Structure 1
Amino acid sequence: MKIYKIAILLLLTNLSFISHAATIRGKVTANKVDWIGAIKMPSGELYVPTGWDIINNLEPTHRWIPATHIVSPPKKINLLGTDSQVSASIKIVGLEYNFGNLKPKQSGDSGSCYIMNMDDTMVSLLGDSCRSGLDFTYASRSNPFYFTRPIIEIKEKELLRDFEGMESGKYIGSIPLVAYYEYYTGSGALTYRNFSYTFQVELDYQPSHLTSISINGDGVIEPVYDTQTQTVSGKTKFYINANGYFNNGLKLIFSNRSYSLDGPTKIPYSIRCKGTCSANEIVRDGVMINDSIIISEGTSNMRNVDFILDVGYENINKEQVETGSYNDVISIIFEENL
């Protein structure tokens, strides 16, 4: 038995590896991951690539045994960005085989693997480095299988934590892996065959999120009278600071309505933005001009956004204003500009 095993190893050193690639892509934001080219499996945090790797030039056999990897894949994958690196919580934990229309006769047990799924066309083995006890047989010598793809464990919450504090941009990484299966040769000897593939991950990290808004300003508009023109004007300022992570600025959305101070009479007022605003005029003399604006649009990797809103009225004829208290409420929606 020992001599036989050595003979098998010598035979395999003369066989060229079959090399393939499996790729998944995704977009990571502050609180979720959207996957492209990956399918979530029914159980746990497991995924498979949408595509299958075609496996060519396999020796025909009438009987074979599926397995997963020669050695256990790493528990994390290193992803490289432009100026930084992330050790991502993504791991290969199994392998799927697709038989196409071969429909082998199936017998045996799971061995050291866990069988997630098995039907006439495929088998899903869970176990990063395991050998099943399954026995697939054909009436005549055939290709053992046609396609494979890895089973991937992605712990999304951990993955989001992995990216915390990282710069935005694309992160790419790959792991070279060697899988294998066992089969019976034409002479009836049990041997095995390696096939190598590369697992690649491409993630676009766009972590824009809004953490908090602080507004400083008492909102009191003190009237200033112009005795020469017989008019009254007044204004107040709101100093606004947004904290979070912004890759394309901060968006402000205003209620689309007329803006007037309500009191004994109505005083139309204006709202203007000061800072890196996409538009300075929001409301002019009570009339909405822009119901949404963006602060610091086009600027990436910002953690604070500061700007000022000027609110006030100008040159209102004093005959249109009666003594008394006036007020209004301005509602603004703040959100990261994606």
Structure 2
Amino acid sequence: MSKGVLLVNLGSPDSTDPKDVKKYLGEFLMDPRVIDVPLWARNLLVKGIILNTRPKKSAAAYKKIWWDEGSPLIVLSERLQKKVAARTSIPVGLAMRYGSMSIKKGLQELHDKGVDEVMIIPLYPQFAMATTETILVLAEELRQEHFPNMKFTDVPAFYNESEYIDVLSNSIGEKLENLEYEHLLFSYHGVPERHIRKSDITKSHCKIDGSCCQTPSPAHEFCYRHQCYETTKQVAEKLNLKEGTYSTSFQSRLGFDPWLQPYTDRTIERMGKEGTKKMAIVTPAFVSDCLETLEEIAMEGEEIFHEVGGKEFTTIPCLNDRDEWADVLANWVNEWISVETPV
């Protein structure tokens, strides 16, 4: 069999035009693993309300962070793809879960190169319904319908892989080395609490309380909350961070249902009001800088911090196309290449 790799990230509108943003948001928010309510309710919420109000606001946000080359997330993902491809001997494709760079196109490009065994790498360190799961489910649907002779291997959540933790810790440590800060906030993308319970394979472990994420359980394999806290814990240990100088929060909530807490915006506001003057923030749920990191955190977060008396707000970049991050991905690919495929 001929092997190939497909890196998959979130996606982006084709431009900052509200029409393109509306099209992108429509695909994203109509995904039943993103807004997991019955179709009639999702239609009402997304097509009846959100898409009539949000595209203009989101388009304005995208304009603030858009690069000359295009969407930062796309540009950074393409740079990473090229670096990984240069470090391995097989085709490396790139696709997005949402938008015009579709998974179907990515698989078709690999198919056209003669690839019939694909290693799918969702570029999400932590597992979640709305990230890793939706990528793998769609890929399998596409395989059955369009690429029945293809075989897939997927890379599971790598939040606790030592190579990943090393690279993430190095990237954070570099910024902190010459930085005076009082608190480091690990901000992860939020998900509704019900997603945690739905992903609980034991159907009983996840209580979303103060102890379940620290109590060993098979549920942790698919528990986004546990994996976020574990990422923070392992990086803190690697960097020898002192207790009380760092914490974990969750950003980007939508709607009125309970989402994972504490919320990032409220945490930033609270810390500023309590007298924190110098804060650093890192976003380890993303490997590529995007709207959520460049606008929501680096711009809106800093504004909140300054409004309540904070002075210095430092945003630590995502891994993006760091050479050592490309090395890690290429190592995983090359290890997979070396494993003989059973005939």
Q: TM-score per shorter chain, which class?
A: under 0.3
More helix by share: 2
More strand by share: 1
Query: What TM-score comes out, normalization by structure 2 length?
Result: 0.23
Question: Larger radius of gyration, structure 1 or 2?
Answer: 1
Query: What TM-score comes out, normalization by structure 1 length?
Result: 0.23
